[in-house]
Amino acid sequence: MQTQARKWARKGLKYAAKPAMARVEAQLVALNPTRWLAADAGGLAQTLLRDSVQAPAGHAEQWLDGTFTHRGRTLAYKLYLPPEISRAAPRPMVVMLHGCTQDAEDFAAGTRMNAQARALGVVALYPEQNQRGNPQKCWNWFSPQSQQRGRGEPAILAALTLSIAASHPVDRSRVYVAGLSAGGAMADILGSSYPEVFAAIGVHSGLPKGCATDVVSALTAMRVGCQAPRAAASASGTVPPTIVFHGDADSTVHISNGTAIVDAALKARGAQHTEAQATEGQSPQGQQFSQTVYRDSAGQTTVEYWQLHGAGHAWSGGKEGASYTDPSGVDASAQMLRFFLEHPKTR
């Protein structure tokens, strides 16, 4: 496996489309991705939450640091609280999962999600992978242990989400998850594994759940697309509403992975009852896109797919100068929040 993975790495596969990312594959091969991920034997109780920065007095917006421990593993996180949160009704919350080599601060700056959250009164949570979990700080979406409910990274991320929702005025019917690249793949896993927690899923330049079981199959899926069938979507047999963004010039994660996420979500919801409406457009900066909206038999939007023409492996509409962003594209953060807020969880 190691020999074959290194062979692909030599062929020029670069996970985050920057020279520094050429080291990702080699370090993934050296990593045993399950060694830090103890199996979870029960629910999401017995957690420890510590905010390292206390909320200031008054009602200004807040940008907090925290750490969270669940069943022996600790994650750092950043938390954005919009202004006047203590005076308002419970707010929506979006969980944002960064890509490889990124951290919470970098991802927040690059996506500009906090600006969107401020305008709409949304809480934004940024969990942060550490180098102990993965040398390049990728979420381990390819590890079988981290593709299951109640185990590995999905378990700690779901537990963190519930702890933040319990500690702050968060509307539990409007909790969402989104991510980029490895974070997008983990968002797909997390949302479909915990549909009772997450009301909708956003995947940017990611891969579908169940398409890899180790480093070798992960690299293959990134290069040519998902070759394996998707694992069971969720305990309820469905997935939450899903919005997908993917550049058709992405040389790091093949665009067929975006299509596979859409197809799996439609299949889980019953594609035979779905109506598709396609629209062509362009961003204010001139980048073209194709947006396809899928509706169920009741006319409700269940899936959106934004194919970004000429775009590479980067967050569309992100901040110039930040890592893995494309400022020329449509504003993915704004469109994701728009989609999310249209989809509160129904009981």
- Separation between Cα atoms, residue 233 and residue 64, nearest integer Å: 33
pTM, entire model: 0.83
CA dihedral 327, 322, 183, 347 (to 10 degrees): -60
pLDDT at 46 over 80: no
What pLDDT, on the 0 to 100 scale, is given for residue 230? 55
pLDDT at 243 over 70: yes
Q: What is the pLDDT of residue 336?
A: 98
Q: Is residue 124 part of a domain?
A: yes
Instruction: Report yes or no on 269 lying in a domain.
Output: yes
Is 62 domain-assigned? yes
For the residues 126-151, what does the mean pLDDT come to? 95
Q: Compute CA distances 307 → 50, 153, 234, 248, 285, whole Å.
A: 40, 29, 26, 7, 16
Cβ atoms of residues 168 and 61 within 8 Å: no
pLDDT of residue 274: 77
pLDDT at 63: 97
Please give the pLDDT value at position 88.
73
What is the tens place of the pLDDT at every residue in 66-124? 999 999 999 999 999 999 887 779 999 999 999 999 999 999 999 999 999 999 999 99
Range from 270-274, 283-287, 290-294 carrying the lowest mean pLDDT: 270-274
Contact 28, 215 (CB under 8 A): yes
In this structure, what CATH number is given to the domain that contains residue 227?
3.40.50.1820
Spatial separation of the C-alpha atoms in residues 306 and 9, rounded to whole Å: 29
Does residue 122 lie within any of the structural domains?
A: yes
Measured torsion, CA atoms of residues 323, 329, 332, 335, in degrees rounded to the nearest 10: 160
The C-alpha atoms of residue 117 and residue 166 are separated, in whole angstroms, by: 19
Q: Tell the residue number behind the tokens 């970098």, with chain if given.
A: 106
Would the pLDDT of 129 be above 90?
yes
Backbone CA torsion sign across 83, 64, 131, 147: negative
**How far apart are the C-alpha atoms of 7 and 271, rounded to whole Å?**
39
Strand ranges (E), 182-324 = 200-204, 242-247, 275-282, 288-295, 301-308, 315-316
Q: Quick one: pLDDT at residue 117? A: 98
Residue 142 lies in a domain: yes
* Residues 234/264, Cβ–Cβ less than 8 Å: no
For residue 26, pLDDT beyond 70: no
Q: Which amino acid is at 236?
A: S
Asked whether the predicted pLDDT for residue 149 surpasses 80, the reply is yes
Type and span of the H or E element at 233: none
Domain-embedded: residue 59 = yes
Confidence tier at 228 by pLDDT (50, 70, 90): low
76, two tokens: 């750092």
Q: What is the pLDDT of residues 324-336, one digit of tens each?
A: 999 999 999 999 9
Q: What is the H or E stretch that residue 40 is in? A: none
**Residue for token digits 């629910």?**
43
**DSSP string for 74-133:** EEEEEEEE-TTTTTSSPEEEEEEE--TT--HHHHHHHHTHHHHHHHHT-EEEEEE--TTT
Paired sense of beta strands 73-81 and 62-70, if any: antiparallel
Q: Tell me whether residue 346 is in a domain.
A: no
Confidence label for 16 from pLDDT (cuts 50, 70 and 90) = very low
Number of domains in the chain: 1
Taking residues 126-152, what's their average pLDDT? 95
Over 70: is that where the pLDDT of 58 sits?
no
CB atoms within 10 A of CB 303: 27
Q: Which domain holds residue 110?
A: 2-341
The verdict on residue 347 lying in a domain is no
Euclidean distance between the first and the last CA atom of the chain, given in angstroms as a whole number: 45
- Report the mean per-residue pLDDT for the chain: 84
Give the C-alpha separation, 340 to 337, whole Å: 5
For every residue of 154-169, DSSP letters joined together read: HHHHHHHHHHHHHHTT
Cβ neighbourhood burial of 284 (10 Å; 0-12, 13-18, 19+): exposed
Residue 29 pLDDT > 60, yes or no? Answer: no
